[in-house]
Structure 1
Amino acid sequence: MKPIPFFKMSGSGNDFIIIDNRAAVVPEDRLERLVVGACRRKMSVGADGLILIEPSDRVDFRWRFFNADGSLPDMCGNGARCAARFAFIHGIADRQMAFDTLAGTIEATVGEHGVRIRMTDPARLKTGFPLDLDGRTVMVGSVNTGVPHVVTVVDDIEAVDVVRTGRLIRFHPDFAPDGTNANFVADGPGGRLLIRTYERGVEDETLACGTGNVAAALILAHDRGLASPVSLTTRSGGQLTVHFTMKGDRCTDVFLEGDARVIYRGELWEEAWLT
């Protein structure tokens, strides 16, 4: 098999392998194996997910997004920003574009210093309900921002065992069978909002999660009366900004803004993903 050209990109620390698959360079019968193999840390390129850019007869392109474990989530906010910049760099789309995801059509604008995407309208916003975690009750909120998220406000962001508590939430019976992502938010110095996320499909803490930042911003805006926009500092130290319109429990006109960095480009050899 010929080596496959790819870009390695990062959105606030959430990293992705992105491949222009408009000419079907990725073998379909080996796709899941390639995704899981290429996303392995230290053994291959390593990434939180892999994105295929593919043709669309309706919008600029469509994507297929895969988590590192090979699963297919409906949406990824950081990945969407990276996909948009990739498409602009490669002449697939202009600065203003639209592309199809499993969550619906995403609109994006590529700027000089970042990318802004219009999210699909969030659903099922619910706040202030109890969740039993190993015999203790924790008050949480939840919302679907393309994928399901739970948000918990904590006193000390550094004291949270994100992996252990995140897994308890991710696999909690209340969110079965598909599970959920888990976010932890705290007030930081200078009025900053700090966030850490356990991501479903990566099954670990990631340095950032775009849809998780959107979920946290909307739940905090609902509970605290915060006005749009709301910015949060991710684990990587990067900032993601969420713009929205909120009326009661209904959120519309939701935009996510942040960086989309090219780390490097290369060719993926078959031995990089074979076990």
Structure 2
Amino acid sequence: MDPIPFFKMSGSGNDFIIIDNREFRVPEARLDELVVGACRRKMAVGADGVILIESSDRVDFKWRFFNADGSVAEMCGNGARCAARFAFLHGIAGRQMAFDTLAGTIEADVGPRLVKLRMTDPFDLKTGIELDLDETRVGVGSVNTGVPHAVMMVDDIETVDVIATGRQIRRHVYFAPAGTNANFVAVDPAGRILIRTYERGVEDETLACGTGNVAAALVLARERGLASPVTLTTRSGSDLIVHFRSRGDGFGDVFLEGDARVIYRGELWEEAWQR
């Protein structure tokens, strides 16, 4: 099988393998094997997910997004920014573009340094949810920002056990059967909003999560009256900026702004992703 050209990109520390699949370079029958194999760190390229850019008759392009475990995700904010810059760099779309995801149509504006996305409207925003975790009861908020997210305020972002607590929230019966992503948020003495995320599909902490940052900003806006825009500092140290408008009992006109870096480009050989 011929090697498959790809870009390795990072959105605020969330890293992705992006492939132009408009000419069906990726073998559909072996897609799951390729995604899981290519995302293995140290054994292959290593990534939080794989993005396939494909043709559309309706908008500039459509994508298919796969988590590192091979599962399909409806939306990924950091991945969408990377996909938008990839499309601009490859002449697939202009600086202002629209593309289809399973969560709906996403609009993007690729700037010289940052990419700004118009997100699909969030829904199912709830606060004051109480969950029993082992012998502890915790309070969370939740909202679907393209994918489901839970948001938990903590006193110290450094000491929270993101893996253990995140795994319990992710698979809690309250969020069954689909499960949820889990975000932990704290405000430091300087007033910065810090966030860490346990991602469904990756099944681990990631350095950033775009839809999780949007979820956290909206939950904080509801619970603490924060005004737009809200800036959050991710685990990678990069800032993500969330813009929104209050709309009745919810929020609309939601935008996510942040970096989308090209790390390198290469060719994915079959031996890299074979089991």
State the secondary structure of the residue aligned to 1:191: coil
- Once the 2 structures are TM-superposed, how far is the Cα of residue 94 of structure 1 from its aligned partner? 0.1
Query: Residue 135 of structure 1 aligns to which amino acid in structure 2?
Result: E
Query: Residue 98 of structure 2 aligns to which amino acid in structure 1?
Result: A
Q: How does 1:134-213 map to 2 (within 5 A)?
A: 134-213=134-213
Is there any run of 5+ residues in structure 1 with no aligned partner, and where? none
- Once the 2 structures are TM-superposed, how far is the Cα of residue 246 of structure 1 from its aligned partner? 1.4
TM-score w.r.t. the length of structure 2 is 0.99
- Once the 2 structures are TM-superposed, how far is the Cα of residue 218 of structure 1 from its aligned partner? 0.2
The reply on whether 1:89 has 2:93 as its aligned counterpart is no
Between the aligned partners of 2:114 and 2:247, the Cα distance in structure 1 is 28
- Once the 2 structures are TM-superposed, how far is the Cα of residue 190 of structure 1 from its aligned partner? 1.6
Q: Structure 1 residue runs of 4+, over 3 Å off?
A: none
State the secondary structure of the residue aligned to 2:158: helix
Query: Residue 81 of structure 1 aligns to which amino acid in structure 2?
Result: R
- Once the 2 structures are TM-superposed, how far is the Cα of residue 248 of structure 1 from its aligned partner? 4.8
- Once the two structures are overlaid, the 10-residue window that deviates more, 205-214 or 129-138, is 129-138
- Once the two structures are overlaid, the 10-residue window that deviates more, 184-193 or 230-239, is 184-193
Aligned residue for 1:253?
Answer: 253
Aligned residue for 1:44?
Answer: 44
Query: Residue 15 of structure 1 aligns to which amino acid in structure 2?
Result: D
Query: Residue 48 of structure 2 aligns to which amino acid in structure 1?
Result: D
Between the aligned partners of 1:162 and 1:241, the Cα distance in structure 2 is 22
- Report if the CA contact (8 A) 1:222-1:248 is conserved: no
Task: Give percent identity, aligned residues only.
Answer: 78
Is there any run of 5+ residues in structure 2 with no aligned partner, and where? none
Query: Residue 203 of structure 1 aligns to which amino acid in structure 2?
Result: E
Aligned residue for 2:32?
Answer: 32
Aligned residue for 1:238?
Answer: 238
- Once the two structures are overlaid, the 10-residue window that deviates more, 243-252 or 24-33, is 243-252
The reply on whether 1:104 has 2:108 as its aligned counterpart is no
TM-score w.r.t. the length of structure 1 is 0.99
Query: Residue 43 of structure 1 aligns to which amino acid in structure 2?
Result: M
The alignment of Structure 1 onto Structure 2 pairs a total of residues equal to 275
- Once the 2 structures are TM-superposed, how far is the Cα of residue 177 of structure 1 from its aligned partner? 1.0
Between the aligned partners of 2:247 and 2:119, the Cα distance in structure 1 is 17
Aligned residue for 2:78?
Answer: 78
Between the aligned partners of 2:116 and 2:196, the Cα distance in structure 1 is 21
Aligned residue for 1:62?
Answer: 62
Task: Note the aligned Cα RMSD (angstroms).
Answer: 0.6
Query: Residue 69 of structure 1 aligns to which amino acid in structure 2?
Result: D
State the secondary structure of the residue aligned to 2:226: coil
Distance 1:224 1:248, change over 3 A: farther
Q: Could you report, residue by residue, the CA deviation over 1:193-219 in whole angstroms, capped at 9, with x for unpaired residues?
A: 000000000000000000000000000
Between the aligned partners of 2:149 and 2:182, the Cα distance in structure 1 is 6
- Once the 2 structures are TM-superposed, how far is the Cα of residue 73 of structure 1 from its aligned partner? 0.9
- Once the 2 structures are TM-superposed, how far is the Cα of residue 247 of structure 1 from its aligned partner? 3.5
Query: Residue 148 of structure 1 aligns to which amino acid in structure 2?
Result: P
- Once the 2 structures are TM-superposed, how far is the Cα of residue 189 of structure 1 from its aligned partner? 3.4
- Report if the CA contact (8 A) 1:222-1:249 is conserved: no
